[in-house]
Structure formats: C-alpha cells, structure tokens
A and B are shown apart, each in its own frame.
Chain A
Amino acid sequence: MPAEEKMKIVYQGESVETAAGTVAGFLAERSVDVAKAIVEYGGEVYAPGADLESLSLEDGAALDVFKLTAGG
C-alpha cells in the first residue's frame, strides 16, 4: 500500500500510523496475540476469540488492548 494511503489511529493513547486495513491486521503488525487480549475499538469491547478481521480501521479511531498475561 502506498505511503499516502496510511492512516493515523490512536493506539494505547498514542497516535500511530498504519497501512493495515483491519483491527486484526494492525494487531498482527504489532505482534499482539489476540487469543490472549481484550480489545476496545469504537467504544465496543471484544473478548479473546472475537472476529477482529471484519473490523475495519477508520482514520482517527481509538484502539486499546489489554494483554492477558500469566500471574495471579
């Protein structure tokens, strides 16, 4: 994808640039294991295993991830 088609989103509170088209694609770029993460996008919360492939990234949107890690 040409650079001019990159968009900016707010990831974990910080503005970042991405060429990914979906939430799943963006999180794969960031090596986030979505099977062990809770995702908030567009005001909705997605549990592990949710379909993130069908969530299109929108310019300026906020995306937050909470990684589930061992310990308790």
Chain B
Amino acid sequence: MSANPYLKDEERAAIESARIGIAGAGGLGSNCAMHLVRAGVRHLTVADFDVVNESNLNRQFFFRDQLGQKKVEALKANLLRIDPGADIRAVDVKLDADSARELFEDCDIVVEAFDVADAKAMLAAALLPRGKRLVTASGLAGWGRSNAMRVRKMGVRLVAVGDGETAVGENAAPASPRVGIAAAMQANSVVALLLGKEI
C-alpha cells in the first residue's frame, strides 16, 4: 500500500490496525470498502450472499468481466488490486442477527451496507444493544439534493448517513453519484472514528 505521507505514525497505526466489518457488498458496501482500503484500512470483513449482475454495474465497484462472480470474491479481488497485502475476509453468507453478531464480533466498527430496509433494521437491532459501533446509511436514492445528504451522530456508538427519507422506488432510482456520496460519507466517518476526530 502506498502510505499517505500526510498521516502521522500514530494515525497510520490506528487505521492499519483496525478491523472494519461491512454488511453487504452492493452499492454502499463495495464503494465504502474501496474508500477504506485507499485510506489505509488493511483488515476488512465483508459479507454478502449475492452475485454480480448487469444491473449492479450502474453504481457498484465491479466490472463487466466479473458478472456472475460472487460479490464478496469479486470485491476482494478488486480491493487486492489496490492493496495486495490487505487482509480481506470475504464471507459468502446471508446475514441474520445471530450470524452478524458472530461474524463482526472482532470488528472495531461495522458498516451497514444493505439495500433492504428490514435488513438494515435487523443489523441495528443485532449490534447496537451489544455496544458495537455502527455506521448506517439510509435515504440515498435518486439524483441531486446533495446538500440533503448528511452525517449525524446518535448516542455514542451510532453514525447515521443519508437524507433519512428517500427510499428506492419508481421516482428514485439507485444511482452511482448519490449512493457513492453515502458510501464515501460512511468511509469518511469510519476513518474519523478511528482517528478520534469529529465525524
């Protein structure tokens, strides 16, 4: 990994020693993972059960020659192109509350990157009562309204990203720019938390 020359040694150590969990390897998860690895995160646990398909290419960090591959395996391959020494645990699983608690037990922070609202709720209910730090995102569909996207801290362990309103639907397609903004906000929040800085 090409080290960021602007980081202090202790900052680099904080980023490189952390393990970050990512629940879902779609638009949020794949792009958030990319940002995290570029930022110097070296230990990731990524879980998803799906395969890369054509409709993912409009916003997810995959390529046409990866169609049909398991998302976690394709994402791992892409992340290793950025940092060949990164430790990426790619777990092909459809998470439920029990498996999420177990899989992310050793993670310092978990990024919620599901697309289904019920799954987002499941993860929050599984992890928040256990004191796990969680960075969740909702309200990221559609176009424009960049200034409606925000990051808010709730309590001491939760960061919530997005406009908090706009669901995917007929009038709000999932699209690369706005999903990407949310994914970058999630990654930015993770790094800030690791460095003890303002989110």
| A38:B140 contact, CB within 8 angstroms | no
| A71:B124 contact, CB within 8 angstroms | no
Complex Cα distance, B118 from A35, in Å, reads 8
Complex Cα distance, B128 from A49, in Å, reads 12
Nearest Cβ in chain B — how far from A55, in angstroms? 14
| Known contacts A71-B115, A72-B29, A49 near B141 by CB under 8 Å | no
Complex Cα distance, B124 from A35, in Å, reads 11
Contact with A along B102-114 (1 / 0, CB 8 A): 0000000000011
- Give the number of residue pairs across the A-B interface with Cβ within 8 Å: 93
Contacting residues, chain A, for B125 (C-beta < 8 A): 47-50
Among A3-11, A17-25, A60-68, the one that faces the other chain is A60-68
Q: Does A44 contact B (CB under 8 A)?
A: yes
Contact with A along B130-151 (1 / 0, CB 8 A): 0000001111110000000000
Which residue of chain B has its CB nearest to the CB of A37? Answer: B121
Chain A: how many interface residues by the 8 Å CB criterion?
20
| A71:B154 contact, CB within 8 angstroms | no
| B138:A69 contact, CB within 8 angstroms | yes
| Known contacts A36-B117, A36-B118, A66-B160, A71 near B138 by CB under 8 Å | yes
Q: Does B26 contact A (CB under 8 A)?
A: yes
Complex Cα distance, B162 from A72, in Å, reads 11
Q: Does A1 contact B (CB under 8 A)?
A: no
| B139:A67 contact, CB within 8 angstroms | yes
| A68:B121 contact, CB within 8 angstroms | yes
Which residue of chain B has its CB nearest to the CB of A39? Answer: B154
Contacting residues, chain B, for A68 (C-beta < 8 A): 117, 120-121, 124, 136, 138
Complex Cα distance, B162 from A24, in Å, reads 24
Partner of A45 from the list B115, B157, B164 (CB cut-off 8 Å) is: B157
| B168:A70 contact, CB within 8 angstroms | yes
| A69:B154 contact, CB within 8 angstroms | no
Nearest Cβ in chain A — how far from B52, in angstroms? 15
Complex Cα distance, B29 from A72, in Å, reads 8
Q: A49-B125, A71-B179 are in contact. List 5 more A-B contacts (CB 8 A).
A: A45-B155, A45-B158, A64-B154, A71-B140, A71-B166
18 contacts between A and B (CB under 8 A): A35-B121, A36-B118, A38-B154, A48-B122, A48-B124, A64-B154, A66-B138, A66-B164, A68-B120, A68-B121, A68-B136, A69-B117, A69-B138, A69-B164, A69-B166, A70-B115, A70-B169, A71-B27
